[in-house]
Chain A
Amino acid sequence: MNNSKPKTPAAFYTFLAQSFRYPERTWLIGPYFDLLENISQNLDLNKDALGLRQSYCASEEGLEELQIEYTRMFINAIPAVVAPPYSSIYLDKEGNLYGRSAVWAKQFYQLHGFDLAGEEDLPDHLVLELDFLGLLLEEGQEDAAEQFLSEHFRRWFPSFKERVLNGSTNKFYSTLLTLVDFFTREEP
């Protein structure tokens, strides 16, 4: 899929998905922080968000620090990754990758007209699930988005969030987890 411009509110989910990709200068740039700050202001999260541009946009050391933290939390670490960003780890008994919940997610994508771009991609990565929510909303499939959240995403995201917050003091990710929570939590 080309980078067609998502509509509001789909764009917020695309934005969140982007935020959990590997930190790189290609996207950690001014307009990204403009939007992050604006959303945060609207949610009264100013005090956390405002320092982020300073830490991670202005300095290269800051970026490297973020990359190291991302790797430690989500990719590879000794003795263990803090919080693998996959649903299978939290939902499936074995706690392995590509468990039943991942298969469920993949089938859900297919049922709603989407397939993973790469055949071998793990279907249940946080980035993909947020990206998918954006695509659904883009198409006006609000009911499907709600179903995906209630039957799948909300069942694992809180455990994931908890492990990140317990295992890291990084402000960038704690802020973004708060935003993800806001955009995905159950509302009356």
Chain B
Amino acid sequence: MAFQMTRRSFLQASASAALTTALSGWLSSGAQAQSGFVKKPFTAPGSFGDTTTVSGGVCEMCFWRCQLVGKLRDGKLVKLEGNPKSVDNGASICARGNAGVKLLYDPDRLKFPLKNVGKRGAPVWKRISWDEALDECASRLQGVIKKNGPQGIAIFPHGASATYPMHFFEHVVGTPNNSEASFFQCRGPRDMAYIHTFGVEASESVDMPNAKAILLVGTHIGENIHVSHVKQYLKGLENGAKLVVVDPRFSSSAAKADIWVQIKPGTDTAFLLAIMNYLVKKGGYDKAYVKENGEGFDQFVKAIAHAELDWAAKICDVPAAQIKEVADLLAKNAPHVSIHPGRHVTWYGTDFQRERALACLTGLLGTIGAKGGFVKAKGPKLGKVAWPHVGTEHAEEFALHKMAEKHIFSPPGTPTQMLRDAAISGKPYPIKACITWGQNPIQTIPGQQETIKMLQQMDFVMVVDVMPTDITMYADILLPELSYLERYDIVKTGVQWNFNDKHQQYIAPRMPLVSAVSADHQRKDSVWITNELAKRLGHAKEIQVPTAEAMVEKILAGANLSLAQIRKEDGIHLQPGSDPYGAVYPVKFFNEDLAEAGYSGAPNYTPVPDPPKGFARLVYGRVPVHTFNRTMNNAWLNAEIPENPIWLNQDTAQKLGLKNGDRISLVNQDGVVSANAGILKVTQGIRKDTIFTAHGYGTKNPAMTNAVNKGFDEQSLITNAAVDPETGAHGMRTSFVRIMKGGKVLNIPA
């Protein structure tokens, strides 16, 4: 059928009265179906065209605290990025930082207060109201306080949000039994060793961007990612710094090293002593600095005089010539040498002494305050929020290590091993309530069976967390906390990442990027939870701030700032900084206090047990996309590295008939078998006496639906942890393992 008429002429003609009437008649008849379309502005896939940018985020996918902005669409966070205003991480964040989006919207997250109506370890949860939860927590804590005193409460905190409740229980309630994983299973020996050598904390205060040589002992930057730290390290290498890496394993850092010292595990202190002894004898150290700022240098020289190159070479299983080469390289580039203090240093229970050796080497080379050396940034000053110390005296009186006169150089809190032993034995006093806040002691503390025993003997266990980690299975009351993207908490400060750039200080409070309120959950922040507990425990008058937001305001007020001002400044306040170079610290080469307390006044080497025949030493580290067990359930990160790799020497693998990619289990010296398998990585890049894996896998909580039954929990294999005598921190590279495949145990050939 062909029309003479065109559409155009028809449409013109359609103005005719009859058609107009018919059209409006039809339109008003209401006989049209609903349109199959909705109006929706176009957004190109992957674009952020219709998002709004919210600043003020501070990351907590690890604890480096990079500054963030969030891209939101209709109130939903769709992407995280580095805050372009940041002089620290800048616009960069790591894989974990990016994956914060998936933590925020993880369907496995804790949502409501829960009461365990089943058993500890095999919970049956019942949702309860906040009032009921808080009333029960308070009355049961009060019960323990009445019966056992405040010291009957133990707290296991971790992370910025746990500081406020931790100080409440320490300083107001008055318990000394606070075990921070960040000290006793991580940095404690380093922090205390440097304080007792230089009088200041080590942090990671080495000026790597401007160094001519960098020494990493066991530190594997690149597998362990802290954005500005990685930037510093890479800038140093880019600027031509020589890199020395001491590691039994060909780590990502070893791969960039000028000298890779493939040391026998547990012997690092011998290596360091030999270097120092060699430099002293040769006169290859900073005599002026040592003369002016050294203390007990002669005693130190005498104490390490035995540490000849050959002596160390034999112990460390590396050529004497290589030790000499390292010593010469460091001396040649001094004082522009970064002797890295490390971060996770709880290895063998002899770690305080190794850290002392690192600090002494730092002093010996005169690197303190020098370009490329040990340089502490001069950060901004802030206000403070502190609980009144009404219970501190009581706490000190009942501090276990002080009562036993042990671990005199313990970091703040109570050494975990002592705390757990006391809880299990009831001596010297009972510990009957346990609070964990952001820490997962099942996977952070060696000796899981003892930890579980400790938990089972408690009258009350309260857990506050974001995710259903292993420890949550042991809670009587489980409280859901807001994530770092939904709450106010710390104020991050620092300076520009490279001291060579314009000196700037920054102040960046953690502010919520998304709403803390939503119909599908009732999560709360730690300030609110603690205050509600404080009110119920009769400590309302000690409360210093009503909300987390008010706490941050008060801290900022100390710098003449406010949240409103920070918001105006896109989440980060910048102010002029000052030159950090030229600082002078005394160096206690020989520490009288240590000697008086019965420890070695000069750094000393204590041998650690060798693997029994048929076993290799189990060492662990990190993979760059995970932060311990905290990120294991994250959908994106889990997809990247879902199971832990197990590094095994190539010759060993060949002898045992194992190949790359095999799924193997490990069995330790006490017959403990890893619950799941790991993926074998066959490599020349590891010693035959050493097996390496990544920490944090193998959650046993089925509520972690992405992570459960993937990989194995290497902490379950650490059943013979050592304890550092000076600090009381754990040593956790003490386990020896054999391989299990297809139900058969395979001995590791020598």
- Chain A residues in the interface with B (C-beta under 8 A): 1, 3, 5-6, 8-9, 11-12, 14-15, 18, 21, 26-27, 29-32, 34-35, 37-39, 41-45, 109-118, 121, 125, 127-128, 131-132, 135, 178, 182-183, 187
In chain B, what residue has the closest Cβ to A181? Answer: B1
Interface centre among B1, B8, B20, B37 (most CB of A within 10 A): B37
State in angstroms the CA–CA spacing of A44 and B40 once bound together: 40
Could you give 14 example pairs across A and B, Cβ below 8 Å? Answer: A1-B34, A3-B30, A8-B14, A8-B20, A11-B27, A18-B32, A35-B25, A38-B23, A39-B19, A42-B14, A111-B42, A116-B36, A116-B38, A187-B6
In chain A, what residue has the closest Cβ to B30? Answer: A3
- Hey, which chain B residues are within 8 Å of A183, CB to CB? 7
A-B pairs with the 8 shortest C-beta distances? A31-B29, A38-B22, A27-B31, A35-B26, A115-B40, A35-B22, A1-B35, A31-B25
Known interface pairs A1-B34, A32-B29, A182-B7; 6 further A-B residue pairs with C-beta atoms within 8 A, sorted by A's residue number: A31-B25, A39-B22, A112-B42, A117-B34, A178-B1, A187-B8
For residue B47, CB closer than 8 A to chain A, the reply is no
- Asked if residues B6 and A127 are in contact (CB atoms below 8 Å), the reply is no
State in angstroms the CA–CA spacing of A1 and B38 once bound together: 5
- Asked if residues B38 and A115 are in contact (CB atoms below 8 Å), the reply is yes
- Asked if residues A135 and B37 are in contact (CB atoms below 8 Å), the reply is yes
In chain B, what residue has the closest Cβ to A134? Answer: B35
- Hey, which chain A residues are within 8 Å of B7, CB to CB? 182-183, 187
- Asked if residues B33 and A38 are in contact (CB atoms below 8 Å), the reply is no
State the Cβ distance, B358 to closest chain A Cβ, in Å: 59
Assess A42 versus B33: contact at CB under 8 Å? Given A34-B26, A117-B38. Answer: no
- Hey, which chain B residues are within 8 Å of A112, CB to CB? 42
- Asked if residues B33 and A18 are in contact (CB atoms below 8 Å), the reply is yes
List the count of A-B residue pairs having beta carbons below 8 Å apart. 116
- Asked if residues A42 and B16 are in contact (CB atoms below 8 Å), the reply is yes
Among the listed B16, B29, B39, which residue makes an inter-chain contact with A113, where contact means beta carbons less than 8 Å apart? B39
- Hey, which chain A residues are within 8 Å of B41, CB to CB? 113
Assess A9 versus B11: contact at CB under 8 Å? Given A3-B30, A187-B6. Answer: yes
- Asked if residues A1 and B37 are in contact (CB atoms below 8 Å), the reply is yes
- Asked if residues A9 and B14 are in contact (CB atoms below 8 Å), the reply is yes
- Asked if residues B27 and A109 are in contact (CB atoms below 8 Å), the reply is no
- Hey, which chain B residues are within 8 Å of A131, CB to CB? 35-37
State the Cβ distance, B40 to closest chain A Cβ, in Å: 4
State the Cβ distance, B26 to closest chain A Cβ, in Å: 4
- Asked if residues B36 and A14 are in contact (CB atoms below 8 Å), the reply is no
How big is chain B's contact interface, by range? 20 to 34
State in angstroms the CA–CA spacing of A114 and B10 once bound together: 28
In chain A, what residue has the closest Cβ to B7? Answer: A187
- Hey, which chain A residues are within 8 Å of B6, CB to CB? 187
- Asked if residues B5 and A43 are in contact (CB atoms below 8 Å), the reply is yes
Among the listed A3, A11, A43, A117, which residue makes an inter-chain contact with B10, where contact means beta carbons less than 8 Å apart? A43
State the Cβ distance, A45 to closest chain B Cβ, in Å: 8
- Asked if residues A6 and B27 are in contact (CB atoms below 8 Å), the reply is yes
Interface centre among B3, B18, B28, B36 (most CB of A within 10 A): B36
For residue B13, CB closer than 8 A to chain A, the reply is yes
State the Cβ distance, B181 to closest chain A Cβ, in Å: 45
State the Cβ distance, B12 to closest chain A Cβ, in Å: 10
State the Cβ distance, A14 to closest chain B Cβ, in Å: 6
- Hey, which chain A residues are within 8 Å of B29, CB to CB? 29-32
State in angstroms the CA–CA spacing of A9 and B13 once bound together: 11
- Asked if residues B34 and A32 are in contact (CB atoms below 8 Å), the reply is no
- Asked if residues A3 and B35 are in contact (CB atoms below 8 Å), the reply is yes
State the Cβ distance, A133 to closest chain B Cβ, in Å: 11
In chain B, what residue has the closest Cβ to A182? Answer: B3
Interface string of B98-110 (1 = CB under 8 A from A): 0000000000000
Among the listed B23, B40, B42, which residue makes an inter-chain contact with A35, where contact means beta carbons less than 8 Å apart? B23
- Hey, which chain B residues are within 8 Å of A38, CB to CB? 18-19, 22-23
Among the listed B3, B23, B35, B39, which residue makes an inter-chain contact with A11, where contact means beta carbons less than 8 Å apart? B23
State the Cβ distance, B454 to closest chain A Cβ, in Å: 51
- Hey, which chain A residues are within 8 Å of B32, CB to CB? 3, 14, 18, 27
- Asked if residues B25 and A34 are in contact (CB atoms below 8 Å), the reply is yes
State in angstroms the CA–CA spacing of A128 and B33 once bound together: 12
State in angstroms the CA–CA spacing of A121 and B27 once bound together: 25
Among the listed A5, A35, A42, which residue makes an inter-chain contact with B13, where contact means beta carbons less than 8 Å apart? A42
- Hey, which chain B residues are within 8 Å of A45, CB to CB? 1
State in angstroms the CA–CA spacing of A32 and B28 once bound together: 10
In chain B, what residue has the closest Cβ to A18? Answer: B32
Assess A32 versus B26: contact at CB under 8 Å? Given A8-B11, A14-B32, A187-B6. Answer: yes
In chain B, what residue has the closest Cβ to A183? Answer: B7
- Hey, which chain A residues are within 8 Å of B35, CB to CB? 1, 3, 117, 131, 135
The A-contacting residues of B in range 618-665, CB under 8 angstroms, are none
In chain B, what residue has the closest Cβ to A114? Answer: B37
Assess A31 versus B36: contact at CB under 8 Å? Given A38-B19, A42-B13. Answer: no
- Hey, which chain A residues are within 8 Å of B19, CB to CB? 38-39, 42
State the Cβ distance, A126 to closest chain B Cβ, in Å: 11
State the Cβ distance, B63 to closest chain A Cβ, in Å: 40
Among the listed B10, B26, B34, B36, which residue makes an inter-chain contact with A42, where contact means beta carbons less than 8 Å apart? B10
Assess A15 versus B37: contact at CB under 8 Å? Given A38-B19, A43-B3. Answer: no
State in angstroms the CA–CA spacing of A30 and B35 once bound together: 21
State in angstroms the CA–CA spacing of A12 and B273 once bound together: 91
State the Cβ distance, A182 to closest chain B Cβ, in Å: 6
In chain A, what residue has the closest Cβ to B14? Answer: A8
State in angstroms the CA–CA spacing of A122 and B526 once bound together: 48
State in angstroms the CA–CA spacing of A9 and B41 once bound together: 24
State in angstroms the CA–CA spacing of A130 and B307 once bound together: 89
- Hey, which chain B residues are within 8 Å of A116, CB to CB? 36-38
- Hey, which chain B residues are within 8 Å of A125, CB to CB? 36
- Hey, which chain B residues are within 8 Å of A114, CB to CB? 37-40
Among the listed A30, A35, A118, A187, which residue makes an inter-chain contact with B36, where contact means beta carbons less than 8 Å apart? A118
State in angstroms the CA–CA spacing of A18 and B23 once bound together: 14
State in angstroms the CA–CA spacing of A5 and B40 once bound together: 19
State the Cβ distance, B29 to closest chain A Cβ, in Å: 4
Interface string of B39-67 (1 = CB under 8 A from A): 11110000000000000000000000000
- Hey, which chain A residues are within 8 Å of B40, CB to CB? 110, 113-115
- Hey, which chain B residues are within 8 Å of A115, CB to CB? 37-40
State in angstroms the CA–CA spacing of A111 and B1 once bound together: 35
- Hey, which chain B residues are within 8 Å of A39, CB to CB? 19, 22
State in angstroms the CA–CA spacing of A117 and B1 once bound together: 35
- Hey, which chain A residues are within 8 Å of B22, CB to CB? 31, 34-35, 37-39
Interface centre among A11, A31, A109, A111 (most CB of B within 10 A): A31
- Hey, which chain A residues are within 8 Å of B28, CB to CB? 5, 31
